Chain A
Amino acid sequence: MNKKSVITGLMATSLVMTALVGCSSKTADTQDTASKDEKITLRVGGWSSSPEEQAMLDKQIAGFKSAHPNVEVKFEPVVGDYLQKLQPMIASKTEPDLFYLDAYAAPEFMEKGVIEPIDDLLKKHNVNLSDYEDAAVKAFQSNNKTYGLAKDYNTLALFYNKELFEKAGITSPPKTWTELQDDAKKLTKDGVTGFSISAELPRYQPFLYQAGGTVYADGKATLTKSENETAINFIYDQMMKKDKSAAIPKTLGKDWAGDAFADSKAAMVVEGSWLIPHVAKKSPSLKYGIVELPVKEGAKPSNMIFTVAYALSKNSKHKDEAIDLMAYLTGKEGQKITVEGGLALPTIKEMGKDYLTKYPEREAFVKGASYALPYQYGTMGVKLVDAMNKASEAVVLGAKADAKAALAEAQTKIQ
């Protein structure tokens, strides 16, 4: 097809405009002529999820700079939708040298060959993949190539409100589905709801897998597998609609379950360690515990791992320095700061112990990682998660009679 001529046409128009406004066009990357002793600049793209996280990254970057005085590192946080900005940046070849990539979005990037495979560079710079948590490494591998190093990760756990438990006369947090159901019933009174969980796959998936379900296998969506119905029916129909001892956060007037927990509107929620700083900010005096997710009677535990890696731009002019920076940020020195910050867990296996020594009460997250699956469903991730979210929501809102009908519709949406 005549793609070139269209693009040429566009560019010709651009040139006319450039002449008209009389502006000297200066491309963003003029530093490629830099000689060895000159300072080079590495751009790092990402998002800033909180001032605390930003401070941690600043510290990590400062550490790298003091060891590499000839490298300037510029962090460019994306404001607004991250992928929305990354796409035009990649299309115009102006993406940063290193940039954040969520495991969930990674397959699309790896498959399209948009990012640089780094195996050779890692070898050259003596980076050992076996130092990293396996699930976090695998999330960024495709066709036997590695495309990024995970900077940190999170898993899910059950948060429970100790005071409300005491009031309801419950001595220990639930370990099984039956206990979860019974405890939730006991806790539901005086404006408190026993259990809150949003109608989203990245919260209920562990329960679904415990019951023998699978949503994605061998590159295909398996939403209509009959075992998938069990968890959806249990949480969104039995507990929410029949027992009325559980609710989605919106019903409680909240954006997310963690906020309902912080305000003591829900006694138990399933969240990751990101909830901890929120509770500290909103309800500093709240007493709560964090335990592993309840497991269905006789079933194996399940969890999910949320992780973000640094990926290397194909267009980077300083790939060696960029790999150095990547290795530093995700290596022991960099992740020491991650551990201190306590917002997420370190992906270096060895550092997991340091995390536990510092935060023994958060053991559940580390334990969860050992049996967690990455939050990733090939290139159909966006559609699959969206369909599964809507399926569980359909059960809560009564738009579909039961999980079976909702899942049948979800499967058709993906094809």
Chain B
Amino acid sequence: MRTRGDLATGYLFVLPVVVSLAVFLIGPILYALYISFHHFSFLAPDQATFAGLDNYLKLFKDPRFIRALGNTSLYSLGVVPIQIAIALMLALIVDAKIKGKTLFRVVYFLPTVTSTVAVSVMFMYLFKNDGLVNFVLSKLSIPTFDWFNSLTFALPAVMMMAIWTTVGQFMVIYLAGLQDIPQELYEAAEVDGATPWQRLRFITWPMLKPTTFFILIMSIIGTFQVFDQMYVISKGEGGPQDRTLTVVFYLYRAAFKDFDMGYASAMAFALFLIILLLTIIQRKFFKEETN
């Protein structure tokens, strides 16, 4: 569809966003890209020297970066699908005609409302060696672990925490997406005698496609850039033997502890490429129709 003057209106609508992105993100990002080809520290920018691809090549030889990338991928692989499945399930529940709908919406959203730092503190408290979780497990005669300090369980424990916190956010997006679906589609399906499962499979799920695409991309970006939780839980140390060290966490250490902004920027753009690649794959997979 097209109206007269659409061209001007279109540009006008995106103008504020474009200006803001250009100044506060694109400019600084290009500067960071420039830095990534240098041995660079913000403490002494005038002493920077050209490094060519050194910072990027270093990534392949740095066992800690490889470990961080491995942790991050594992984390993303575990969190993304579970997160989306639970979010959709919860959205369907609080969108249905159930008693106390508002109460359930609020309760399911509780973890999202709480700040990441607070949630991390809370989880540390619950999962610490003499915390509530181990107390309950030991009462049930199930073996206990020192979760966040265990080589095996530190990462899964953080994954559990991430799912628990972020599910509410995606639930809300799905919930809003569900309101977009025209009711008469369901009415028509009912007339045709469709089962609830069929309605979900053939109406809700396809109609939610743009929403799911959005959630999937955001979830991938979010999990690949995970930092806050890891930082708080491990007190800035990366967990037992770096078991919860992630790419952004390692990048942060390089930038703000080692003052090696060149290397940190190279990590950032390596991560950017990985996320970009995953997004392109998603987009092909979704073959999204734009008008």
CB distance A88 to B42 under 8 Å?
A: yes
Considering only residues 58-92 of chain A, those with a C-beta below 8 Å from chain B are 81, 83-84, 87-88, 90-91
CB distance A13 to B27 under 8 Å?
A: yes
What CA separation (Å) do A9 and B30 show in the bound complex?
Answer: 10
Q: Mark B122-163, 1 if CB is under 8 A from A, else 0.
A: 000000111100000000000000101111000000000000
Q: Mark B237-275, 1 if CB is under 8 A from A, else 0.
A: 100111000000000010011110000000000000000
Closest to A250 in B: B149
Determine whether B50 belongs to the interface, using a CB cutoff of 8 Å to chain A. Answer: yes
A112 and B27 contact, Cβ closer than 8 Å, known pairs A91-B42, A253-B131: no
Which residues of chain B are near A10, meaning CB under 8 Å?
A: 27-28, 31
How many CB-defined contacts (below 8 Å) exist between A and B? 86
CB distance B240 to A397 under 8 Å?
A: yes
CB distance A394 to B50 under 8 Å?
A: no
Contact of A397 among B41, B128, B130, B241 (CB under 8 A): B241
CB distance A17 to B129 under 8 Å?
A: no
CB distance A252 to B130 under 8 Å?
A: yes
What CA separation (Å) do A1 and B146 show in the bound complex?
Answer: 52
CB distance B31 to A83 under 8 Å?
A: no
Contact of B50 among A1, A6, A81, A88 (CB under 8 A): A1
CB distance A390 to B129 under 8 Å?
A: no
Contact of A112 among B47, B50, B130 (CB under 8 A): B47
Which residues of chain A are near B43, meaning CB under 8 Å?
A: 87, 90-91, 108-109, 112, 114
CB distance B48 to A83 under 8 Å?
A: no
Q: Mark A97-123, 1 if CB is under 8 A from B, else 0.
A: 000000000001100111000000000
| Distance to closest chain A CB from B168 (angstroms) | 26
CB distance B259 to A3 under 8 Å?
A: no
Which residues of chain A are near B242, meaning CB under 8 Å?
A: 390
Determine whether A287 belongs to the interface, using a CB cutoff of 8 Å to chain B. Answer: no
What CA separation (Å) do A362 and B27 show in the bound complex?
Answer: 55
CB distance A251 to B23 under 8 Å?
A: no
Closest to A406 in B: B241
Which residues of chain A are near B151, meaning CB under 8 Å?
A: 397, 399
Number of B positions contacting A (CB below 8 A): 39
Determine whether B235 belongs to the interface, using a CB cutoff of 8 Å to chain A. Answer: yes
Q: Mark A381-415, 1 if CB is under 8 A from B, else 0.
A: 01100100110011001010000000000001100
Which residues of chain A are near B45, meaning CB under 8 Å?
A: 3, 91
Determine whether A23 belongs to the interface, using a CB cutoff of 8 Å to chain B. Answer: no
CB distance A390 to B256 under 8 Å?
A: no
What CA separation (Å) do A113 and B258 show in the bound complex?
Answer: 16
Determine whether B19 belongs to the interface, using a CB cutoff of 8 Å to chain A. Answer: yes
What CA separation (Å) do A110 and B237 show in the bound complex?
Answer: 25
Name the residue among B45, B146, B241 with the largest chain A CB count within 10 angstroms. B241
Determine whether A20 belongs to the interface, using a CB cutoff of 8 Å to chain B. Answer: yes
CB distance A84 to B256 under 8 Å?
A: yes
What CA separation (Å) do A397 and B22 show in the bound complex?
Answer: 48
What CA separation (Å) do A383 and B254 show in the bound complex?
Answer: 10
Determine whether A16 belongs to the interface, using a CB cutoff of 8 Å to chain B. Answer: yes
What CA separation (Å) do A397 and B242 show in the bound complex?
Answer: 12
Determine whether A178 belongs to the interface, using a CB cutoff of 8 Å to chain B. Answer: no
| Distance to closest chain A CB from B78 (angstroms) | 22
Closest to A409 in B: B63
Q: A81-B256, A250-B129, A390-B241 are in contact. List 19 more A-B contacts (CB 8 A).
A: A10-B27, A13-B27, A20-B19, A83-B256, A84-B256, A87-B256, A90-B43, A112-B41, A112-B43, A112-B47, A114-B44, A250-B128, A251-B149, A252-B129, A253-B131, A397-B150, A397-B241, A399-B240, A413-B64
Give 7 nearest A-B pairs by CB, closest first. Answer: A253-B130, A91-B42, A253-B129, A112-B44, A250-B149, A17-B23, A84-B256
Please give the residue numbers on chain A whose beta carbons come within 8 Å of chain B beta carbons, in ascending order: 1, 3, 6-7, 9-10, 13-14, 16-17, 20, 81, 83-84, 87-88, 90-91, 108-109, 112-114, 248, 250-255, 382-383, 386, 389-390, 393-394, 397, 399, 412-413
Q: List 11 A-B contacts (CB under 8 A).
A: A3-B34, A3-B45, A6-B31, A14-B23, A20-B19, A88-B42, A255-B235, A382-B253, A394-B241, A399-B241, A412-B63
